[in-house]
Amino acid sequence: MSLDPGNPWIAAMARARGAEVAIRYADQRLTWTELASQAHALAAQFSRLGVMRGDLVAVRMTPHPRMVAILHALQMLGAALLPLNLRLAGPEAARILAHAAPRLLVDGIADAACGIDVGTLRRVHPFDDLDGDRSARSFEAPAHLDAEAALTVVYTSGTTAAPKGVVLTNANHAAAAAASRRRLGHGAGDTWLATLPLFHVGGLAILTRSVLEGSTVLLESAFDDERAATVLATGDATMVSMVPTMLARVLDRLARRVSPRVRCILVGGAALSPSLGHRALDAGLPVAATYGMTEACSQVCSTGPGSDDAAHGLVGPPLDGVEVTIREADSDGWGDILVRGPTVMRGYLRNAEADRAALRDGWLCTGDVGRLDERGRLAVSGRRDDLIVTGGENVAPVEVEQVLDEHPDVAESLVIGVDDAEWGQRVVALVVPRDGREPGGDALREWCRARIASYKTPRDFRFTAELPRGATGKLLRRVSR
């Protein structure tokens, strides 16, 4: 379905496929007509609360159909959703709210320990205060949908700097959904298992894809590896989005091969190691490795489902309509990844300095390092800030991690640079042993030296039960340092 400037997406889908199931959640089944009705009632209530075109509404709640209805209600009003990361401490969330200045906060988290000092900001409960009353029948939602209006403002995780609010428009989300559909082949007959957080662009993208094509969302309140493995085995969903840590846990749970109804398991949010990619493909999973970011409305590049590229450190060519170029490449072709296309954000919220740094001559400077092969497929070595310079040589942490993760006694690893008076930085590896079998630093050092240059081989090995990760599974290198 293409953008219709006279129709909010939920209203158009309700007319086209009203009786079909839009959302499955626990034992609930919500049709497009029912979801549109809820969204219309919520839009009426938001309007009475003073929400107007161009406003932001912050939402803090676990995944639930009510949050989906809120997203569509805000689009009806020309307002934007600001989903708050549920893992933020109160002061962190308060700083984001102070910067974003939303019209109100919809807060469904009743946890005093994570309370947010919102000052004069009005706070409402998503169920107690937003009850979807029927007086909405007299409410006329604004008819015009502005393609360039913000639909979501998603704050980055802040792993390398202070969180920034990424402004993504209706047009950004529509272009991202269409490009994803052309690469992965999803459509109206699909059911998409949604276990990613809805404060993450990967989770939100599932919602926008579904309303633009009429697919069903199988919405989960949280990720459960046993439940996800059951869905894959039974074919209760045809499309799945995961981060690598989720995929590894599901593989540990799978008692039998996945159903042939499962057509794609999209894996992103963090690097998919070749060893995990091989393991998934060997188990018959139609994995599609993807590279993306909030600033590009989720996907930038993706492999086709089941492609061997997912097991060779490649994330595929750019999606249709998206351009990727490498600037200032070294002799091996590694350089800064730049992205251009209709999925690229409008900019950062009230942050002109960050805009100037990230958006140059129509290109988004990602801050990531990668290279394109002769077939236009992208490989990503990590963040430019994560590059380790030891003795004048550059070391990409991901390259070392891929070698370590191939060792039979290594479950996963994280490689960082630590300040060193002699070498500038020395390479250090944090290693999670597989099944408690700690291989020892000497064994791992020999393993690496047989496969990569000596200057890339970690000088120190630290063994740990788990690695620090963000809410979406991304490894937190700064925390590790």
DSSP 307-340: -GGGGTTB--SBPTT-EEEEES--TTS-EEEEEE
- Quote the pLDDT of residue 131: 74
Question: 376: pLDDT confidence band, cut at 50, 70 and 90?
Answer: very high
Q: Which CATH superfamily, name and number, covers 387-480?
A: ANL, C-terminal domain (3.30.300.30)
- Quote the pLDDT of residue 332: 86
pLDDT in tens, 72-118: 999 999 999 999 988 887 888 898 999 999 999 999 986 644 567 78
Question: 469: pLDDT confidence band, cut at 50, 70 and 90?
Answer: confident
Distance from chain centroid for Cα 317: 19
% of the chain with per-residue pLDDT over 90: 72
Contact 82, 102 (CB under 8 A): yes
Report in angstroms the alpha-carbon separations of 66 from 180, 230, 267, 416: 25, 25, 26, 41
How far apart CA 250 and CA 231 sit, in angstroms, is 10
pLDDT in tens, 28-52: 999 999 999 999 999 999 999 999 9
Tokens of 49: 């609360």
Contact 479, 468 (CB under 8 A): yes
- Quote the pLDDT of residue 135: 59
Residue type at 150 in one-letter notation: A
* DSSP string for residues in 373-398: -TTS-EEEEEEGGG-EEETTEEE-HH
Per mean pLDDT, which range of 303-307, 383-387, 450-454 is the poorest? 383-387
pLDDT score of 160 more than 70: no
Q: In the chain, what are the domain boundaries?
A: 9-379, 387-480
Residues contacting 356, CB < 8 A, separation 6+ = none
Query: Which residue is associated with the tokens 């390259």?
Result: 399
Per mean pLDDT, which range of 64-73, 338-347, 445-454 is the poorest? 445-454
How far apart CA 270 and CA 243 sit, in angstroms, is 6
Find the mean pLDDT for residues 316-342: 95
- Enter the pTM of the model: 0.86
Contact 77, 51 (CB under 8 A): yes
Q: Which of 44, 51, 15, 55 is nearest to 32 (CA)?
A: 15
User: Which residues in 299-311 are b (16+ Cβ under 10 Å) and which e?
Assistant: bbbbbbbbbebbb
Find the mean pLDDT for residues 207-234: 97
CATH of domain 9-379: 3.40.50.12780
How far apart CA 423 and CA 416 sit, in angstroms, is 14
Report in angstroms the alpha-carbon separations of 24 from 13, 64, 454: 16, 10, 53
How far apart CA 204 and CA 126 sit, in angstroms, is 18
CA angle 74, 90, 55 (to 5 degrees): 20
Question: 355: pLDDT confidence band, cut at 50, 70 and 90?
Answer: very high
Tokens of 45: 């209530």
For the chain, the average pLDDT equals 91
Contact 286, 310 (CB under 8 A): no
- Quote the pLDDT of residue 140: 83
- Quote the pLDDT of residue 382: 81
